[in-house]
Structure formats: C-alpha cells, structure tokens
Amino acid sequence: MTREAPTDAVAPDGTITAVAGVSLHVEPGEIVALLGASGSGKSSLLRAVAGLEPLAAGRVSWDGADLAGVPTHKRNMGLMFQDPALFPNLSVGKNVAYGLHKLPRARRAGVVERFLELVGLPGYASRQVSELSGGQAQRVALARSLAPEPRLMLLDEPLSALDRALRERLVGVLSEVLRATGTTAIHVTHDQDEAFALADRVGVMAAGKLLQFDRPEVLWRRPVSVEVATFLGYDLVLTPEDAEALGVGTLRATAPVALGPESLFQDAAGAELAIVDQLARRGYVEVGVRLPSGQRAELRVPDRLDAETVRVRTDPDAVSVVQPG
C-alpha cells in the first residue's frame, strides 16, 4: 500500500505555481526527506499533503482515497515545525496529552510517559514549558505530535533553529523514535547531512520540481544531473579532456562527468598539472591546480608543495556520469 503526494501542482497564492509535476509515493513506515534550497517547493509540497495549501491540480491520496476536501485536522497527520509551538500555560505532560482527548482519561498518563521516555525526557511530565531548553522543547513537540499515533508525520525543518551540535544529536533521537514507533514520515530540510542520516529515501527539489528521488547512497553516488550533483557538493563538471587526463577517460562518456568532493590525490603516474595556489588549513594544505580545460580543481596534501606542478589522479569511483542541466 502506498501513500501518494500531489502529482501536479500547488499554487498557494493563486498566482505562483510552487510545486509542479511532482509524483511521490511513500511506503508504510518509510521516512522520506525532501531536500532543497529555500524556495525549492519542498515546504509547499509538505503543506499541500497536510491540507494547508490548496491544490491547483493533481491530488493527495491515502491508500487510494483522495483527500480533496478533507480538512487538516481530519487527515490524522502529525505536524512539527521549526517553532515547537508548545502551550506555555500547560505543563509538559498536558502539552503531550493535548491530542489524546479521544483516549480514556485513565490511559492518558501512561501514553504521555511512554512518549516522553521515547524522546529521552522521562519524568518531565510535571515540568513547565518555561523550564525547557530549545532541544528539550523540540523533543516535547515531537512527543506531542506522535502521541495520537498519526498515520503520517510531517516535519518542516523542525531542527533548523538549533545549533549544529544539538541538531546532530536530535537527528539521532528523531530517527530512533520514528523507527521505534513505525511512523511513516516526510521530513523537509535544507541540511544534506540531516536528510541522509534520517531518511530511507531522499528527494532533491528545485524550482518546484522533484529532480531525483532515491536511497541516500544512490543519490550521492549517482546524481542524475549536473544540477543535482552541484547541489550535493560535487566540485566541478569535467570535460572529456579533463576526465581522460585524470584517469577516468575509460568511462568514454559523452555526458558530463561530475567530480566528487576530495576525490583528487597525488600520484606519480598521474597527469602533471600546474599549481595555481596553495592554502594552509588545519592538518592539511589545499592545493589549487589547473586542469587541461583551464578549470581550477583542488586536492589536499599533508604539506605545502615546493614545486610549480603536481601529478594528480582521481578514483573512477569518485566521479559520476550525469545528464546536462
């Protein structure tokens, strides 16, 4: 059984098409990440699934049932945003219990404690929201969203306001909790590390289109286009002349070849390239070299090179044949 997202378009203000031509199927228990820069359409797609944005065309369906006309509060979907939006006048426990009104009162305390334990906050039910740190507040928001056992969890950059170290810790918590509860989820983020660490499949979006949707390892090793490769951090696109000089000419690719990050290395049998600059970093020196096509590329070496040229190769496994555009 699959869950289907909008297949055509979302026009949130009636004039701008924010998402177009997107077909997305999410399997039960699967965690999907939508990755893209600001304005890529990822949040608009999420809001369309939630029923927060109108559809100009296409549909959102669940197990084949069209959700057109079904309001957000009746879609049985959990929502979590950058702002945890906790009720400051309620205790932590009452915040988590907010969506449990259909559950017998005698069972609510047990459910609240269970989900607080899942997010790493056992015994916090009686605390006030004002006593929480930013990371703790987001954990409470996660527990509140999951406590009613939604059929789909929608997360719109919930960790983006936190510092890097805390964000990395909470990505692990989020992954563990979603998998422990078997929750199907769509997670929107601009952070590639976050998406790759959390999701079973990742979709890269730009200009309202889904450019590629695949498992993280496939997405990283085989970007389908120059646009996707560039977004993921591939350093540059090699000409056939550059590819052959660097030892990947055996690919005989007529399509562009994208060079992965940190994929160049010194090799006595490699191509002799002119050194154009050197910059000392912590623990290594970054050496800029000129490729046969005139493009500049970089490699790392342990110490500064006292020479005008350096012999360089790349691992064929560190490059990817992509489509133009």
Average pLDDT over residues 130-134: 94
The span from the CA of 314 to the CA of 18, in Å, is 40
Secondary structure, 3-state, 133-164: CHHHHHHHHHHHHHCCCCCEEEEECCCCCCCH
The span from the CA of 189 to the CA of 159, in Å, is 9
Average pLDDT over residues 156-168: 89
Residue 2: pLDDT above 60?
no
Alpha-helical runs (H) found in the chain: 42-50, 92-96, 105-118, 134-146, 164-180, 192-198, 216-221, 226-232, 240-245
The span from the CA of 113 to the CA of 122, in Å, is 7
C-alpha count within 13 angstroms, C-beta hemisphere, residue 315: 9
Average pLDDT over residues 281-297: 94
Residue 250: pLDDT above 60?
no
Q: What confidence tier does 63 reach under pLDDT thresholds 50, 70, 90?
A: confident
Locate 301 and state its tokens. 């070496």
Q: What confidence tier does 14 reach under pLDDT thresholds 50, 70, 90?
A: very low
Secondary structure, 3-state, 295-323: CEEEEEECCCCCCCEEEEEECHHHEEECE
Average pLDDT over residues 247-263: 72
The span from the CA of 85 to the CA of 205, in Å, is 27
Q: What confidence tier does 260 reach under pLDDT thresholds 50, 70, 90?
A: confident
pTM: 0.83
Q: What is the pLDDT of residue 11?
A: 43
Q: What confidence tier does 322 reach under pLDDT thresholds 50, 70, 90?
A: confident
Nearest 5 degrees, angle CA 69-CA 186-CA 22? 65
Q: What is the pLDDT of residue 253?
A: 52
The span from the CA of 136 to the CA of 148, in Å, is 20
Q: What is the pLDDT of residues 198-213, one digit of tens each?
A: 999 999 999 999 999 9
Go through the domains of the chain in sequence order and give each one's CATH number: 31-229 (3.40.50.300), 234-321 (2.40.50.140)
Q: Rounded mean pLDDT of the chain?
A: 88
